[in-house]
Amino acid sequence: MTNSTTSARRSPLYPALVIILICAVIAIAAWTATSSPVLSLNSTPTPTHGAYFAFAQIAKPTYTPSPTVIPSPTAQPTNTPEPVVVAEIVSDSNSVYTAPNQDAVPSYGGNKYILVDISEQHMYVYEGDALVYSFVASTGMNNATRVGMFSVLDKIPSAYGSTWNIWMPNWLGIYYAGSLENGIHALPIMQNGATLWEGYLGVPISYGCVVLGTYESQLLYDWAEVGTPVEIQW
């Protein structure tokens, strides 16, 4: 009787004690989780030392360009011109040209004939009645080329005109104008090697001579003979 009464009185308190015990365990566990550095997931670590910094002034490096080395110009060799004996016309072998008698007309028994037409600026070369060559030519400026009947007085592979300091290849002398001999020749070559009057054939450009192209003058030079008649007309 007594035991039964005691059990009946204790039975309503027992569940309450169990609940209180569980709550206490949960509370302890929660407190431990929040206070432990190992188990804390949301805590932000606090630095153990302060941040120390200072501004440093660093000089900006300056670019100094290397000096440009300008090479000294190489001295060009100076071509020493070969000595030429003073004369109006000399050959390319530097020998003095001996002018023929201006009044003498070379005898000629062939059938070759050269005709220069100033109005057409053209040359016609005949052998007998056959036209052998027909060349564009240039005569003298301001009617400097004389008209008349002449003949080839001499042949020089390359004559030097000392008055103008030019070389005249394939020279065929035909008449004298004072102390100067006029002739038929190729486009002149200046001392620097340039061709004078190139591109101007067909118009009066010379100082009195009859000028042909380089190739054409070579053909005429090889064909003509000393004494070949030369007629220059308007």
Please report whether residue 67 resides in a domain.
Answer: no
The pTM (predicted TM-score) of the whole model is: 0.57
Give yes or no for residue 104 having a pLDDT over 80. Answer: no
Question: Tens digit of pLDDT for each residue in 117-141?
Answer: 999 999 999 999 999 999 999 999 9
Provide the residue range defining the domain that includes 27: 2-34
Are 10 and 114 in a shared domain? no
Q: Give pLDDT, residue 52.
A: 42
Q: Give pLDDT, residue 50.
A: 47
Count of domains for the chain: 2
Are 211 and 112 in a shared domain? yes
Please report whether residue 74 resides in a domain.
Answer: no
CATH number of the domain enclosing 216: 2.40.440.10
* Residue closest to 233 by CA, chosen among 100, 82, 78, 114: 114
pLDDT greater at residue 202 or residue 25: 202
Are 8 and 117 in a shared domain? no
pLDDT greater at residue 96 or residue 116: 116
Are 6 and 107 in a shared domain? no
Q: Give pLDDT, residue 22.
A: 79
Question: Tens digit of pLDDT for each residue in 55-100?
Answer: 444 444 555 555 555 555 555 544 433 333 233 444 444 433 444 4
Measured distance CA(122)–CA(208) in Å, rounded: 15
Measured distance CA(20)–CA(24) in Å, rounded: 6
